[in-house]
Structure 1
Amino acid sequence: MRFKLTCIALLPGLTLAEQTPYQIDELVITGSRYEASGWQLPFSVNRIDAEQATLGKPGVNLSEALGSVPGLVVQNRQNYAQDLQVSSRGFGARSAFGIRGIKLLADGVPLSNPDGQGQAATFDLDTLERIEVLRGPFASVYGSNSGGVIQLFSRDGEGAPKVSVDTSQAAYGTSRTRVAAEGGNDKAGFIINRSHFETDGYRDHSGAILDKTFAKLTLYPDDVNKLSLSFSELDQNDTQDPQGLQWREVKTDRRAAAPNALLFNTRKTVDHRQFGLNYERSFAAGTWQSTLYSGTRRVIQYQSIPKAVQENSDKHSGGVIDFERRFHGLGNRWIQPFDLGSSLLTITAGLDYDYSRDDRHGYENFVGDTLGVKGDLRRDERNEVTSLSPYLQAAWQLGKLDLQAGLRYNHVQFDVDDNFILSIACQNPQTENCDDSGSVTYHKLTPTLGASYALLPDLNIYASWGKGVETPTLNELSYSGQYNSFGFDLKPATSEQFEIGLKTRVAEATNLQVALFHIDTDDELVVASAQGGRNSFQNAAQTRRRGLELSLESRLSETLRANLAYTHIDATYSKDFTSNGRLIESGNHLPGIPTRSLYGELAWQPVDWFSTAVEGMYRSKLYVEDSNTAKAAPSYALFNWQARFEQKVGALTFNQVLRIDNLFDREYIGSVIVGDGNGRYYEPGPERAWYVGAGVQYQFD
């Protein structure tokens, strides 16, 4: 019999137990460091299964799958050069590119660097089994820069071997093809997936081509061992970057690219490769879990920094970013349960190690009068980030009462070796290019406590508390020191979080989760100045975030299913500070965080071969900078519709998908670039867009 074990990754997750057709499935934790009922755990966690996340959807962006999670704001920039923008209860809302301040994991392997900056584009939704999202105080058990945790799990190859081919066409010159094979038995399983995506983009100068490969081999040597090997690859060449628009430009032509984006041909190339190994062994006394990973990432990005700005300063690092990154890491943990008769105590002890090294260069983005080409060298340095974090957790189940505690020591070290020095003597660091080499280390203990109590068999209440830490990223440190040097004096932001909530099942067909939260943050990183195409940062603010989250999942009948997610958050500065020479007053709203968000989905499957769904989302206005005086991105409501058909003929299974996004053709701002120095805050979302797809799968005997 195959070894049944908990998932190798760390994040608590939810699975579905067997129920009657009209009864909502019970939630059971299987991805934590121990097994427990999801109703008893004192934190907010949501699970999205593959069917909900991918069926009837393009399968390109993580934003397609996360709309039903309260507390999350996922903004699709329609800009594949900059990736998605994701925030959790306000953490990560300021990120100008990629995902910041949220721990992103795929099969236990971090997609976030040790400095907290990560990318979601490398994960392949075609191989998805489920997504688990953790919010609140207990997110800090995953280390620094964990304002929230998003964990993606790929499925293991199972059953008779099968091969499949899918293709799709969509608006704005968008197409995608995919080929895959998978299968397995009680000794081994495999899955291989290859996809090709290309688009002209909704806006001018926003074309992209993405090639992804994913392969996974799972081995079951015996009843107590499991080993998984995975490989992922992303090739993204010359992806165009339309940049943000000023408000007057949005009103003139919302599909336009920023003028300088065309002038400098702004673009980005990414080559990413990653290997992962997950191993688990069950002993009579406990369980050992281990994760090992390694990879490389090459990025070349052409920016639109004006020629004169670079020529007028020896200290400027240029308008072309070129780096090669090597990264690796290791996670080990021992899970030990103690049966105390009337109670169960589970202790988990572990150690996470993560390392990345960037060989980073900067070049001028011009040669003579020719713009948008690689010119003279302006930056040459090695950046290393090392994170080493031991932790200890305890869970004590006492009948109706569940107690949780955790303690993690976060140690993050930055080392910079500057090899581009124009002035050895460095008599005037304000104007001369001096040696910016140096090192800075951040360390912090982050405790967590929580308790839940079962008032009724289907009603649990809980409370939790925790502290967190968020280090600056390499990008934020790079220009934040005196005279635009490396900012070794920046401090980490620290937070204290409280959460209370309830989890209940109503009429055996509806799951309801409600959470109230309060977050105070000290030394929040904010923009100190914006000049020369660069933002420098400072520790200048105290912030307060208070809110309500509601998640509702209901099986209304055997054929009808509904989901609802609502978030209300009041996110403000609680202390005055100065940014770009302006006073930012206490009480101003944090930019990039909507006060209200609402998501709803109604899915109907009357017969096995046909299903259809409509989803709607509302988002209140978004402030775009700290003073709250610039035009806020207006609120909007969107509706999407999809239908899926399936036919089986012997060993063949055919499927077809029809989808319409932005059904009522609304004009809206899909995302904002917080605090942009040129006032180009706005990234317009697309108008009504169609999507059609078809596929075939053959299963061998």
Structure 2
Amino acid sequence: MKKIFTLVFLCLSWAANAQIQLVFVDSQTQIPLSGVLVVGPDGKEQVSNESGVASFPDTEVLLFTFSLENYASILRKLGPGNHQIALTRAATNLSEITVTAFETERTLLEQSAAIALVSEQDFNRFNETSIVNAFNTKAGVRIEERAPASYRVSIRGSSLRAPFGVRNVKIYWNDVPFTAPDGTTPLNLLDLANIRTASVIKGPSGSIYGAGNGGVINLNSPAEVAGGRVSSEFMAGDFGLSRFRLGLAQQVGSGGFEASFVSQKSDGYRDHSAMDRKVFQLSGVFNPSEKQQIRTQLLISDLNYQIPGGLNADQLAEDPTQARPGSAAQNSSIDQQTIFGSLGQEYQFTENTSNTTTLYLSTTDFENPFILDYKKELGFSYGGRTKFEFNDQLLKKPIRIVLGAEAQGGITDAQNFGNRAGVADTIRFSDKLRASQFFLFAQAEWNLTDELLFTLGLSQNYSSFEIDRQVDASGGPLGVQKRTFDPILIPRVALNYRLGEYSSVYASLSNGFSPPTIDEVRTNEGSLNLDLEAEKGVNYEIGFRRGKGNFNVDLTAYYFKLEETITTFTNEQGVVLFQNAGATDQKGIEAAIDYGIIKSNSGFVRDLTIGTAYTGQFFEFVDYQKRENDFSGNDLTGVPQTTLVTRLDLRTSMGIYANITHQYVSEIPLNDANTVYQDPFDLVNVRLGWAKRLGAQWDLEAFVGVDNLLDEVYSLGNDLNPFGGRFYQPAPAENWYGGIKLAFNY
């Protein structure tokens, strides 16, 4: 009856062309939608009636915003006449959620890989000072923060060789390679304001993305501008935390730009753990023609944070807030300034042929006084990525072919000094470092049947680095030493079978490799370990997904066999060194379940969702001999066997919301001998808030939250195999925060 009434209404109102008539329908069912909030440029508001109808007595083209609970808001210019507006329901199940991975855009049910999506809602469930909590709600993903802004990323236990920094994981930011040519990633340069969503491809992905056995993280903050918006936010919390953000978005023609500035400071939970970061980002999107789109971005980041250092068990029990003796006196810290710029183009040659190309330049000034030394580096890097996509048919079945290449290079002046009370002393050694990596990739996706998708990918990879030693105070040899790794082919084969409209199964076989970084070859005391080999592995994986209505299930089982595993050890001077340690067997299970108990456009409770993510990692060393010790059969260092995360989200018609998260992490072996463990711990984080649109143009949100509600004593990133038993990097105790966000839309 509603459809008939709407049709009659449109016919009767056809003559009334001196006004703007709107009818709102669901884009899939075409059922009229009541309760749609329509806001005009003069602030006038209307709500669509039971037939989905709203009207404005205007005779000129106006800019409207349309919003409804559980639907994507849209902005549109409309003139006098009758208009049907189709609103798209926000994706709530796996058959609707579209994700880009392995250079293909498909729904999650059609993807033949283990993929975790981190949405803007996931980030906003926590205090928004870092990416850690949001990523750690996902099965198989763990980001550690040993000190504020000191990140370590682990995808399926891939951080074994990363005593500090981000390694063995490839990271892209808005389709631009953000991982440096030497394999490290300065993830801490980005504020959460520079990231809106992220997708994590778990396991080796070298057939498309090159080096990195852990996987790939695609960070996105696209400049999607409609109209104009000025926004600001402020947050404060325990341990001297303060964060301020100012943002501007402006539509220009069919494109536009966004700019933001963020300043974040904290005194830190521990002594000598303060952090100060300022980030400016400018991004733009322009459409010279219907076939061409140009995207550009500029990032300027100024980061300084102190390094409190690891504690032994006695120091931890005495006072977890203390710093390692000597850290403050030597000003152990990181001071880093970076400018990163990129330019990208998407061009549609024909309906079935397109190209996407991005280029970037980056420069970094880096200083790192440490207890044992003082490092200074000035680096410059460059690179780009291009891909051609072809859509056609083979034997009357759709086929998509992707061909592309990625290249990166970097030059760094690196000097190592003595450290005299936090000031650089006499030079110890000085090097000019060069790193390069290049790979070609190809992939074909062929729909063998309507239900069966076959994927074959292959890349050819080249990498090398060069160390030109110009000064060595110890009298060691000077000159150039170069390491070029043998070209390596990385294949991937995958199948995806649709069991029905709402479920699918997939299987994949993929290879991976990860050469050592320059920091692993060139250590702080000046020695060069040019014999360090690249890790190589093969991953077998099967998965099942089902998403219907408000109930989603995602299950994965995998077996990763890694050869030439790189592990760490510490000499008597406390210098971290690296070695190849035989092989590891890594068997794992990942499960994610989400259930929308209530999804409603009416009533007091609009959204009530519960979700859980289970990670089971059964990893062990194989054939691992370290000096006189045989660690074969031991659990992999730094990897918890069980992680269980449970989430509860509530949102009401008044704008009040609540986000509650519980995370359980089992014991973690902290040395290769498995004689020292971190105890299991439970984390509870809570955020409560109120968010509402005020009038036609203002958005307001106020919130308060608490992290580590149970006041657990734990480390969010331990030191592995350290000298002197300094395993522990205590994380903050119970801490509170609160803030406000305000935005003006024009």
Residue 391 in structure 1 maps to residue 441 in structure 2: yes
User: In structure 1, what residue type is equivalent to 2:147?
Assistant: Q
Name the CA distance, whole Å, in 1 between partners of 2:517 and 2:98: 35
Match of residue 544, structure 1, among 585, 591, 597:
585
Which residue pairs with 1:50 in the alignment? 120
User: In structure 2, what residue type is equivalent to 1:485?
Assistant: S
Q: Percent identity?
A: 22
Match of residue 668, structure 2, among 614, 618, 622:
622
Residue 454 in structure 1 maps to residue 524 in structure 2: no
Where do 1:145-184 residues align within 5 Å?
A: 145-184=212-251
User: In structure 1, what residue type is equivalent to 2:356?
Assistant: Q
Largest Rg, 1 or 2: 2
User: In structure 1, what residue type is equivalent to 2:590?
Assistant: E
Alpha carbons 1:620, 1:636 under 8 Å: kept? yes
- Deviation of residue 644 (structure 1)? 1.6
Alpha carbons 1:85, 1:98 under 8 Å: kept? yes
Which residue pairs with 2:314 in the alignment? 248
Residue 509 in structure 1 maps to residue 509 in structure 2: no
Which residue pairs with 2:379 in the alignment? 325
Which residue pairs with 2:66 in the alignment? none
Structure 1 residues 279, 202: closer, same or farther in 2, change over 3 A?
Answer: same
Which residue pairs with 1:8 in the alignment? none
- Deviation of residue 208 (structure 1)? 1.2
- Deviation of residue 678 (structure 1)? 3.0
SS of 1:476's equivalent? helix
Name the CA distance, whole Å, in 1 between partners of 2:365 and 2:407: 22
Match of residue 482, structure 2, among 433, 439, 442:
439
User: In structure 1, what residue type is equivalent to 2:151?
Assistant: L
Which residue pairs with 1:632 in the alignment? 677
Match of residue 466, structure 2, among 400, 415, 431:
415
Residue 224 in structure 1 maps to residue 269 in structure 2: no
Deviations 1:330-373 (A, max 9, x none): 1111011113474211111101001111100111102xxxx221
Structure 1 residues 30, 259: closer, same or farther in 2, change over 3 A?
Answer: closer
Which residue pairs with 1:314 in the alignment? none
Question: TM-score, with normalisation over the residues of structure 1?
Answer: 0.89
Which residue pairs with 1:530 in the alignment? 571
- Deviation of residue 160 (structure 1)? 1.8
User: In structure 2, what residue type is equivalent to 1:396?
Assistant: W
Deviations 1:42-90 (A, max 9, x none): 211122221222x25332211132122211122222343xx21211111
Identify the structure with bigger relative contact order (alpha carbons < 8 Å, sequence gap 6+). 1
- Deviation of residue 418 (structure 1)? 0.7
Match of residue 141, structure 2, among 72, 75, 91:
72
Can you give the 5+ residue segments of structure 2 that lack an aligned partner in the other structure? 1-70, 73-86, 600-606
Name the CA distance, whole Å, in 1 between partners of 2:742 and 2:409: 42
Name the CA distance, whole Å, in 1 between partners of 2:612 and 2:267: 33
Where do 1:355-434 residues align within 5 Å?
A: 355-366=409-420, 371-398=421-448, 399-421=450-472, 432-434=475-477
Which residue pairs with 2:646 in the alignment? 600
Structure 1 residues 35, 145: closer, same or farther in 2, change over 3 A?
Answer: closer
Name the CA distance, whole Å, in 2 between partners of 1:357 and 1:147: 26
Which residue pairs with 1:466 in the alignment? 510
**Which 10-residue stretch deviates more, 18-27 or 620-629?**
18-27
**Which 10-residue stretch deviates more, 193-202 or 114-123?**
114-123
Which residue pairs with 2:188 in the alignment? 121
Deviations 1:216-236 (A, max 9, x none): 011011211111110111112
SS of 1:65's equivalent? helix
Deviations 1:398-456 (A, max 9, x none): 2110111111111111011110145xxxxxxxx74222631011131111111111223
User: In structure 2, what residue type is equivalent to 1:408?
Assistant: S
Match of residue 63, structure 1, among 132, 139, 152:
132
Name the CA distance, whole Å, in 1 between partners of 2:398 and 2:91: 33
Name the CA distance, whole Å, in 1 between partners of 2:329 and 2:369: 11
**Which 10-residue stretch deviates more, 84-93 or 340-349?**
340-349
**Which 10-residue stretch deviates more, 20-29 or 520-529?**
20-29
Match of residue 678, structure 1, among 724, 731, 737:
724
Name the CA distance, whole Å, in 2 between partners of 1:697 and 1:183: 13
SS of 1:51's equivalent? helix
Deviations 1:107-143 (A, max 9, x none): 1122212222112112232243311110134455210
Residue 93 in structure 1 maps to residue 93 in structure 2: no
SS of 1:115's equivalent? coil
Name the CA distance, whole Å, in 1 between partners of 2:483 and 2:179: 20
Structure 1 residues 556, 291: closer, same or farther in 2, change over 3 A?
Answer: same
**Which 10-residue stretch deviates more, 595-604 or 607-616?**
607-616
Match of residue 563, structure 1, among 598, 611, 621:
611
Alpha carbons 1:33, 1:335 under 8 Å: kept? no
Question: TM-score, with normalisation over the residues of structure 2?
Answer: 0.84
Residue 694 in structure 1 maps to residue 694 in structure 2: no
The total of aligned residue pairs comes to: 651
Name the CA distance, whole Å, in 1 between partners of 2:483 and 2:569: 20
Alpha carbons 2:161, 2:568 under 8 Å: kept? no
SS of 2:147's equivalent? coil
Residue 142 in structure 1 maps to residue 209 in structure 2: yes
Can you give the 5+ residue segments of structure 1 that lack an aligned partner in the other structure? 1-14, 306-318, 423-430
Name the CA distance, whole Å, in 2 between partners of 1:386 and 1:246: 39
**Which 10-residue stretch deviates more, 484-493 or 189-198?**
484-493
Match of residue 103, structure 2, among 28, 33, 37:
33
Alpha carbons 1:639, 1:663 under 8 Å: kept? yes
Match of residue 595, structure 2, among 541, 554, 564:
554
User: In structure 2, what residue type is equivalent to 1:94?
Assistant: R
Name the CA distance, whole Å, in 2 between partners of 1:666 and 1:536: 32
Which residue pairs with 2:78 in the alignment? none
